[in-house]
Amino acid sequence: MNSNRYIEPTRDQFKELSARPRLNQQDLDFFITDVFNQVQQNGDGALMKFSEQFDGVCLTQLVVSVEEFDEAVSELQTELKQAIETAYSNIYTFHEAQKEQPISVQTMPGVQCWRKPVPIERVGLYIPGGTAPLFSTVLMLGIPALIAGCREVVMCTPPQKNGRVHPAILYAAKRCGISMVVKAGGASAIAAMVFGTESVPAVNKLFGPGNQYVTAAKQKALQFGLAIDMPAGPSEVLVYADETANPAFVAADLLSQAEHGADSQVILLTNRQEIAKRVEVELDRQLMALPRAQMAGAALSNSKVIVLSDEQDAIHFINTYSPEHLILACKNEEIFVQGIFNAGSVFIGNYTPESAGDYASGTNHTLPTNGYAKNYSGVSLDSFVKKITYQKISPDGLKLLGKAIMVMAEAEQLQAHKQAVEIRLRAIESGELETIPKTK
Amino acid sequence: MNSNRYIEPTRDQFKELSARPRLNQQDLDFFITDVFNQVQQNGDGALMKFSEQFDGVCLTQLVVSVEEFDEAVSELQTELKQAIETAYSNIYTFHEAQKEQPISVQTMPGVQCWRKPVPIERVGLYIPGGTAPLFSTVLMLGIPALIAGCREVVMCTPPQKNGRVHPAILYAAKRCGISMVVKAGGASAIAAMVFGTESVPAVNKLFGPGNQYVTAAKQKALQFGLAIDMPAGPSEVLVYADETANPAFVAADLLSQAEHGADSQVILLTNRQEIAKRVEVELDRQLMALPRAQMAGAALSNSKVIVLSDEQDAIHFINTYSPEHLILACKNEEIFVQGIFNAGSVFIGNYTPESAGDYASGTNHTLPTNGYAKNYSGVSLDSFVKKITYQKISPDGLKLLGKAIMVMAEAEQLQAHKQAVEIRLRAIESGELETIPKTK
């Protein structure tokens, strides 16, 4: 492991050590704008043209048919169906527990205020194509959308070379109640969900990972009033390992992050150099057996090994770095859990690999990268609802509250705000509650 | 009221009728980039320079002193202090009720998953200056920040001509436990909270309204990894009034929106033309008495009056428009409350003016405009926390869950993800749980 090793760096070095590599933000704006224009103007026709150009597939029908869904169900191996079922059940259970009841408070007698979560009406899920079918992401986005009760869930994913969508993706979609799956990939798929086409409904919020084109297109979507799940960046893990950690397990966890791609961020933080050395021996051994060894090796060569013997320094470093995934393989895990306030998702103990949360334990795998764990949450049920506040004030309530409103409005020089209360209080006092006469 | 009247428009016209005027997005990028560069390079010096240039004030000290706070407390009129106290109490009560307990679920035996809200460490509140001191916004942002437990809350607001901050702003800040108030305004204040200066700490998330420069600077802040409360747009109200509404109250509510500025969006939706006419008479009468009559008149001339006799059409229109503020002055309010899923905050009944929520009833007044009520919530306690997920799996739990993870990882061609489970299961089976030896 040709990683960069830092022995007992001082706290004033933490910020620099936590810096992510500058994203190579190519200026894709010209390309993305063109794709958006074409999709806006030509709808399905543009999607088909792009599919021919980029996926090498001539489609006559963009929306996956009922027959294709049925075929997927019958084609998929039983073992994989059972695995998906286990994951589905756990993810459903954990996200259902996030359901929030309306909150209602009488802040003063006669002044009732409440807040209610309401599903976002239409959401769009993007599932990347490529060599591996990311059906796990279908579950991670589809299940909370289902629980939230979004009225319309549309999923876009590029077709395979044979013009079909991978059966595992369709199976997972069906399991989440998603019937609208569109064969469309990249920026054009995002554009379709922004503007709507003959086949694709326009949505209010976009979710899902993707390459640089998808990321740029999601950014562009913001300009058209859509919301997105969160800003994107390469995936990350930070493992904190002390002498109670198992070096082979730690190495396996680092590698499972590294295999995502050469830009994956992999950090080993430990209290002893000896641990770093033993993990490195394991890394070399395990790396060779991996099919994605080259990619993982590239990620490892950019990785960092940091030795901090003081626990509070280690906690301080973790909060500064704010990892997407944090694995705690250490004896004082409770001190770390209490002390850490910047992380996307935390995996505790020797038997809790990141891959559990990536697939099946129940937590969501769509998490803030690139330091965004400081100010963003991962995807959860919350991501699929907005919360509306309500209030109803009785005449007696307004008599109690009115003075404060009027004094404050006057001090902010907003006379009409004051007037809206005053005119009501006068009517209450006088008993003249004029409304529109009932006759037409 | 020279408004545009639409009698029984059809549903296919709703989208066009709901379109907001295109924001005159001037290209401020060159200016904002320059301000950001200067603040990043010269810190406090740049802030002082900009304050001299834009506020006409030579500052030698940017941070409000303890003495200035004390003076504000003693200067402020008792009546206004009491009003602020009422508002504080109600806003605190409503936002405290939003506190979320950690959620913990055993998704399978031995697989424990939980989620905990954690305060965002450092938040920055921007309070605009200008003629009127927006101390109500201090409460709306400062109270949830206090309840959330953010470690550092910094507030920036431009100084008045006398070099001081309005006492009502300082009083409200002090009441919210904010001791760090910086005399800085516009894009330079935002830049200071992005990069940090000698006096101003850098923050993780920015909140607060502002002019086009502040809005553009907040957008720019996103590029530096900060989060912001929500996208900005002119304030809006939609009043739905039927024959049980009071025309004078409706007119007062429309005017209290209109006085915010010429770009305010004001919509009256009613089931009868007669109601529109009577509200218009009231508008003309009340408008003349307002100090901001000209501004309010300009907003009214861009306003819309829409008549829809069918309730379901009215509900459909409201959901299409997605107003920031929705006032329901109608007999079947329950049908509307149930049917409406796109709105920022809803005010129900004849005695619930928008100004109640603007100031003192308890709900937050920082709300999604410009159609963003479709996919954003208003500011709440949630805006000041992120939610971290955790999991801990026992050896027995991994034995139960491991197969599903391995099958799914294999199907996604992520071999190292599978390996991270396999290596642990092998160790559990063999009983060989190697860890680092205890001796150094």
> Quick one: pLDDT at residue B440?
40
Compute the average pLDDT of residues B282-296.
88
**Does residue B113 sit within a domain?**
no
Question: Is A228 touching B (CB cutoff 8 A)?
Answer: no
Count of the separate structural domains present in chain A: 3
Same domain, B353 and B435: no
> A344 and B388: CB-CB below 8 Å?
yes
- Is the model's pLDDT at A25 over the cut of 70? no
* Domain boundary residue, one of B179, B213, B229: B229
Same domain, A248 and A138: no
> B434 and A292: CB-CB below 8 Å?
no
Best residue in B414, B418, B428 to probe A by mutation, most A CBs within 10 Å?
B414
Phi, psi of A390 (to 5 degrees): -135, 155
Q: What angle do CA B255, B257, B259 make, to 5 degrees?
A: 70
**Does residue A15 sit within a domain?**
no
Helix (H) or strand (E) holding A326: strand A325-329
Q: Which region holds residue A238: left if phi is over 0, alpha if psi is between -120 and 50, else beta?
A: beta
Question: Is A28 touching B (CB cutoff 8 A)?
Answer: no
CB B271 within 8 A of CB B308: yes
> B133 and A424: CB-CB below 8 Å?
no
State chain A's mean pLDDT as an integer: 94
Same domain, B401 and B306: no
Confidence band of A436 (pLDDT split at 50, 70, 90): low
Same domain, A276 and A410: no
State chain B's mean pLDDT as an integer: 94
Same domain, A193 and A269: no
> Quick one: pLDDT at residue A52?
95
> Quick one: pLDDT at residue B366?
97
Compute the average pLDDT of residues B285-304.
87
Same domain, A363 and A412: no
> Quick one: pLDDT at residue B75?
94
Confidence band of A41 (pLDDT split at 50, 70, 90): very high
- Cα–Cα distance measured from residue A143 to residue A246, given in angstroms and rounded to the nearest whole number: 34
Same domain, A200 and A245: no
* Residue in chain A nearest B260 by alpha carbon: A414
**Does residue A382 sit within a domain?**
no
- Cα–Cα distance measured from residue B159 to residue B64, given in angstroms and rounded to the nearest whole number: 10
The ipTM assigned to this model is 0.95
> Quick one: pLDDT at residue A296?
84
* CATH number of the structural domain spanning residue B283: 3.40.50.1980
**Does residue A6 sit within a domain?**
no
Summarised one tens digit per residue, pLDDT across range B350-377 is: 999 999 999 999 999 999 999 999 999 9
Same domain, B155 and B292: no
- Cα–Cα distance measured from residue A309 to residue A327, given in angstroms and rounded to the nearest whole number: 17
Q: What percent of chain A has pLDDT over 70?
A: 96
- Is the model's pLDDT at B191 over the cut of 60? yes
> Quick one: pLDDT at residue A439?
44
B263 DSSP 8-state letter: T
> A352 and B226: CB-CB below 8 Å?
no
The region of weakest confidence among A2-16, A406-420, B405-419 is: A2-16
Same domain, A148 and A33: yes
* Domain boundary residue, one of A229, A264, A294: A229
Summarised one tens digit per residue, pLDDT across range A333-345 is: 999 999 999 999 9
**Does residue B297 sit within a domain?**
yes
- Is the model's pLDDT at A437 over the cut of 60? no
> Quick one: pLDDT at residue A403?
98
Q: Which two tokens stand for residue A205?
A: 């919020």
Q: Is A324 a catalytic residue?
A: yes
Same domain, B61 and B145: yes
Summarised one tens digit per residue, pLDDT across range B171-180 is: 999 999 999 9
CA of B411: how far to CAs of A91, A181, A210, in Å? 19, 20, 19
Confidence band of A407 (pLDDT split at 50, 70, 90): very high
* Domain boundary residue, one of A173, A198, A229: A229
> Quick one: pLDDT at residue B439?
43
Residues of B with CB below 8 A from A418's CB? 355
Q: What percent of chain B has pLDDT over 90?
A: 86
Question: Is A120 touching B (CB cutoff 8 A)?
Answer: yes
Same domain, A52 and A172: yes
**Does residue A43 sit within a domain?**
yes
> Quick one: pLDDT at residue B434?
58
Global pTM reads: 0.95
Compute the average pLDDT of residues A119-136.
92
**Does residue B348 sit within a domain?**
yes
Range of the domain at A51: 25-100+119-229
**Does residue A179 sit within a domain?**
yes
Same domain, A213 and A238: no
Q: Which two tokens stand for residue B26?
A: 């001037």
Compute the average pLDDT of residues A45-66.
95
Residues of A with CB below 8 A from B80's CB? 407-408, 411
Q: Is A325 a catalytic residue?
A: yes
List, as one string, the DSSP characters of A60-127.
S--BPPHHHHHHHHHHS-HHHHHHHHHHHHHHHHHHHTT----EEEEEETTEEEEEEEEE-SEEEEE-
Summarised one tens digit per residue, pLDDT across range B96-151 is: 999 999 999 999 999 999 999 999 999 999 999 877 789 999 999 999 999 999 99
* CATH number of the structural domain spanning residue A426: 1.20.5
